[in-house]
Structure 1
Amino acid sequence: MNTVEVSNELHELVNGNNVSVQLSVPQLVEKVLHRNEGVLSSTGAVKAETGKYTGRSPKDKYIVEEELSKDKIAWGSVNEPISQDAFLKLYHKVIQHLKEKDEIFVFKGFAGADKKTRLPIQIVNEYAWHNLFVHQLFIRPDKDELAEHDAQFTVISAPNFKADPAVDGTKSETFIIISFEYKTVLIGGTEYAGEMKKSIFSVMNYLLPEQDILPMHCSANVGKEGDVALFFGLSGTGKTTLSADPNRKLIGDDEHGWSSNGVFNIEGGCYAKCIDLSRDKEPQIFDAIRFGAVLENVVLDAETRVADYSDKSLTENTRAAYPIDAIDNIVNPSIAGHPNTIIFLTADAFGVLPPISKLSKEQAMYHFLSGYTSKLAGTERGVTSPEATFSTCFGSPFLPLPATVYAEMLGQKIDEHNANVFLVNTGWTGGEYGVGSRMKLAYTRAMIHAAFEGDLNNIETVKDSIFGLDIPLHVPGVPDEVLQPHKTWSDHSAYLKKAKELAGKFRDNFLKFDHVSFEIKEIGGPIQ
């Protein structure tokens, strides 16, 4: 099967008699209810369940080994190869599966808010609620844009098609396969909607660097003076909370590109965690969950349909998807200038990283490649003390290219646009998790505000002896002793032991980066 045959088969599918194209939000909600795919919450959001897969299936993700891309991909446990023959056989089976359905759904839209570089996409769904999800998560075309829309990448999602590993060359019934030659993402065997969102992000992480655009797994906002800030951070570091600033407008909450023109949101919506969500803690997210939003695996009261966001009986990974314009304080369109401030967030449960430190370009590349935070005791079975977690470029599962490609682009853009970079620890102070206390949110906000205002650009610093980080001696609104971790511990020898332990983990993790300069490798500092 060649590219023409694949294209013809897709064309036949999306133009079939059983296809509903570009349905509106009310039409999709009606379909969801009529097909018994979900129910309405008390606020009018659609609530659906994803069955046994309540999160991504990273071990079932593949990239097709093709002449076009095989020499560019960083093959390994994240980017596992699958043969073109296996992909094409599955492709044909999935197409036939969807052709036999009474109704399937197609969304046409874009990835990338910058019209000069955006990617036209189409998504074929077996479920109406999945089509509502992608309608809200990606960028929706107006009538003129839709009339001229020519999809350059297609996602085909068939949750009820399950692979046979013995026949299909997969590890399980589930598969997420990206083919750059056929410009297709093939998804089967999982109802978790986030696979569609993240597969397009993976595609953009491959395509954008070819246009000299840095794809980034981060949130972004802009101040009243047009100053742009980026927030990188893994789960639990406070990325969503800190980027949702009433004094700054949100550009986007998760995926961005940084081009020669500035920063742009890749998406047209938000996919927010909602475990323990409340209006007090996250008013913007709470109020965005209304008609047209999608709730994943959230438990509703059987009679009132009021969401119980504290109920973890289905999963802790409960989610809400809604269009970005459900948030009031946003930039529209979701584009802005070059970043003035870049924040790397980490929740250090060892309690030894400074609450804020200013990074050189080389240090920024080092900590970008490291992507460190802590996994806490009690969050997973068998975890009894804090564990160091490293996710390359704060987005390891979504990087098809070698990590150094992204790090080098970041370094170049920091140089070119004189961006100030800070490492901010939202984790523990005065001792490790269980001994010390969590950094006060008010202190973190004060530090980030000082970074925005330029108060830390030329401030006096002291170098941390373990990590080589430059720590400000004074930050407005923060007690001086809080800024230096060793001064917050009552047992200095215990502090040194934990600090050296974490520094060793940084160095061990960094051994996997072969093609990095000696100068960057040594950023972690000597273990004393």
Structure 2
Amino acid sequence: MNSVSMSNELTELLNGQNIKNQLSVSQLVERVLHRNEGVLTSSGAVRAETGKYTGRSPKDKFIVEEPSTKEKIDWGSVNQPISAESFDKLYHKVLSYLKEKEEVFVFNGFAGADPKHRLPIQVINEFAWHNLFAHQLFIRPGAEELISHKSEFTIVSAPNFKADPAVDGTNSETFIIVSFEKRIVLIGGTEYAGEMKKSIFSVMNYMLPEADILSMHCSANVGREGDVALFFGLSGTGKTTLSADPNRRLIGDDEHGWSPNGVFNIEGGCYAKCIGLTREKEPQIFDAIRFGSVLENVVLDEDSRIPDYEDNSLTENTRAAYPLQAMENIVEPSVAGHPNTIVFLTADAFGVLPPISKLTKEQAMYHFLSGYTSKLAGTERGITSPQATFSTCFGSPFLPLAATRYAEMLGKKIDEHNAEVYLVNTGWTGGEYGVGSRMKLSFTRAMVQAALEGELTNVETEKDEIFGLNIPVHVPGVPDEVLQPVKTWSDEKAYKAKATELASQFNDNFKKFTNVPAEIEAKGGPSVK
């Protein structure tokens, strides 16, 4: 099947009598309830369950091996190749399947809040609640923008269509396939809505660097003086909590681009974890979950329909999707200037990394490539003690290009804009997990605030002898002894053994990068090799 016939087939689908195009939030909520896809909660949000798949399915994600992209993609376990022939056949099957549906829902919008660098997208859904999700997570066009909208990338999502691995070349019934030449994301066999969000992020992670724009898996906010901060960090490190600052306005909570003009949000909404959510801990998120928002796999009281955010019986990965406009303290549109401060967040369960340290450019590139945090005992079957986990650029599942491409761009931009970079440990102090205690949030907030306000720019520092990190001697609002990990342990020998163990894991992980300039590892990594 050639591109022309594929395009004609898509046009035929979009011109069908079953197409529900650009429905409003109210109309989509009506369709969700009428079709029994979800229920209304006490706050007016829609709650849907995703069945078998309650999270992403990375082993079922593919990129079509095509002439124009073959040499650019960083092929491997993250970016698995699939043939153009397999994609074309599966695409034809899915479109034929959707043509027979009573209703198919279409959303037209954008990825990228900066008009100069945004990607017009189209999302075609079998489920009304998935289309509501797309409406809230991507950038919604104005009336005039909608008239001139021409999609440059299309998601086709058919959760109830299941692949046959023996025939279709997939690994299971589930598939998430990106064709960069045909500008299609094809999704089937999974009801987890997050696959749509992250597929477009993967697309932007390919397209933006090609336009010399750094794509980033981070949150961002801006202060009263226009100073911009970025927060990188894996799940559980405090990225959402620390970027939701009442004294600063939120640019976005997860995906951003850094262009020659500054930072812009890729999305128009938020996709927040809500296990354990309370109004006291996360008032902005809690209050954003209202009419038009989507809750995934959250357990409700049968009668009152009040969400029980503590209940993880369906999954630990309960989620809320809502538009940025559901929050008060935001930047509109979601664009700002160049970052003054960059914060890498890690939750070190070994209890050996400093609670805050200033990074040189080489250290920033080293820790960006490393993307370290730790998994805790009990979070996964078989994990009985803390384990180091490394996710390149704090987002390895979503990077189609070689990791060094993103790191080099970051290093260049740090230089160009004189951004200060800090590594902040929100994990353990006084011992490893099970012995020490979690770093006090009030201390972390004080350290981050000092960094953002420039109070650490010229502060005196001491070099950590194992990791080579520059640790501030004083931070306002934080006891001096807390800043030096070794001083918080009762047994210095035990501290050095544990710190050396983690340093060794950093070194072993970094060996996978074969084309990194030698000075990045020499000057950026642990002092203990």
Query: Quick check: TM above 0.5?
Result: yes
Which residue number corresponds to residue 524 of structure 1?
525
Write out per-residue CA displacement over residues 98-139 of structure 1, whole angstroms, 9 at most, x where no aligned residue: 000001000000000000110000000000000000000000
Secondary structure, in 3 states, of the residue corresponding to 1:258? strand
Q: Give identity over the alignment, percent.
A: 78
Alignment of 1:112-261 (within 5 A): 112-261=112-261
Q: What do residues 48-98 of structure 1 show as CA deviations (whole Å, max 9, x unaligned)?
A: 000010000000000000001010000000000000000000000000000
Task: Report the equivalent of 1:444.
Answer: 444
Distance 1:468 1:518 in 2: 16
User: Partners in 1 of 2:476 and 2:302 — Cα distance?
Assistant: 50
Partner of 1:306: 306
Q: Normalization by structure 2: what TM-score?
A: 0.99
Residue 494 of structure 1 is matched in structure 2 by 494
Letter in 2 for 1:202: S
TM-score, normalised on structure 1? Answer: 1.00
Structure 1 segments unaligned to the other structure (5+ residues): none
Name the CA distance, whole Å, in 1 between partners of 2:160 and 2:488.
55
CA distance in 2, matches of 1:458, 1:58: 44
Distance in 1, Cα, partners of 2:161 & 2:25: 26
Deviation at 1:526, TM superposition (A): 3.6
Q: Provide the residue aligned with 1:325 in structure 2.
A: 325
Per-residue displacement from partner, 1:31-59 (whole Å, max 9, x unpaired)? 00000000000000000000010000000
Q: For 1:285-296, list aligned pairs within 5 A.
A: 285-296=285-296
* Counterparts of 1:183 and 1:108, CA distance in 2: 15
Report the secondary structure of 2:96's partner residue: helix
Q: Which amino acid aligns with 2:211?
A: Q
Partner residue of 2:476?
Answer: 476
* Matching residue of 1:70: 70
SS at match of 2:68: coil
1:82 aligned onto 2:82 = yes
Amino acid at match of 1:334: S
Secondary structure, counterpart of 2:321 in structure 1? strand
Q: Any runs of at least 4 consecutive aligned residues in structure 1 with deviations exceeding 6 A, and if so which? A: none
Counterparts of 2:94 and 2:44, CA distance in 1? 33
1:381 aligned partner: 381
Distance 2:528 2:414 in 1: 28
Distance 1:416 1:524 in 2: 23
Q: Amino acid of the residue matched to residue 52 of structure 2?
A: K
Unaligned runs of 5+ in 2: none
Whole-Å separation in 2 of the counterparts to 1:68 and 1:155: 20
Distance, in Å, in 1 between the alignment partners of 2:31 and 2:6 is: 29
Output the amino acid matched with 2:299.
V
**Which residue identity is paired with 1:231?**
F
Matched to 1:459, the amino acid is V
Deviations, residues 340-371 of structure 1 (Å, cap 9, x unaligned): 00000000000000000000111000000000
SS in 2 for 1:271: strand
Which amino acid in structure 1 is aligned with residue 220 of structure 2? A
Shift of 1:524: 1.8
Read off the aligned partner of 2:528 and give its amino acid letter. Answer: I
Which residue matches 2:273? 273
Aligned residue pair count: 528
Q: Secondary structure at the match of 1:218?
A: strand
Who is 1:407 aligned against?
407
CA distance in 1, matches of 2:181, 2:526: 43
* Partner-residue secondary structure (3-state), 2:75: coil
Query: Cα offset for 1:15?
Result: 1.5
